[in-house]
Amino acid sequence: MLIKANYVFEGDDSTMKTKEKVYEQIIQYLAIEGYPTEANPYFKESSISDLVYGIIGLIIFHFILKTGRDILLVREKEISS
């Protein structure tokens, strides 16, 4: 029925744009920070957390725009003594 009506799903294009943004975010991170390995003396968990946040942030933002739901990303707080 939708094919006969020539209906185009809006989500396909916006999902592809989000995938492209995520890919660009990963490329930008690797260009600026370098590939995170344990051999790298600057390798820290916070470096990976920044990469993950950048990727998940784009996906969550796309989800909010697409669904209209009000969700937040909450970071875990580490207590150091």
Dihedral sign, CA of 12, 18, 22, 24? positive
pLDDT at 23: 92
Query: What are the two backbone dihedrals, phi and then psi, of residue 30, each rounded to the nearest 5 degrees?
Result: -65, -35
58: CB partners within 8 A, 6+ apart: 18, 21, 22, 25
Mean pLDDT value across the chain: 77
pLDDT at residue 24 is higher than 90: yes
pLDDT at 53: 84
- Burial environment of residue 75 by CB neighbours within 10 A (0 to 12, 13 to 18, 19 or more): exposed
pLDDT at 73: 79
Query: What are the two backbone dihedrals, phi and then psi, of residue 34, each rounded to the nearest 5 degrees?
Result: 85, 165
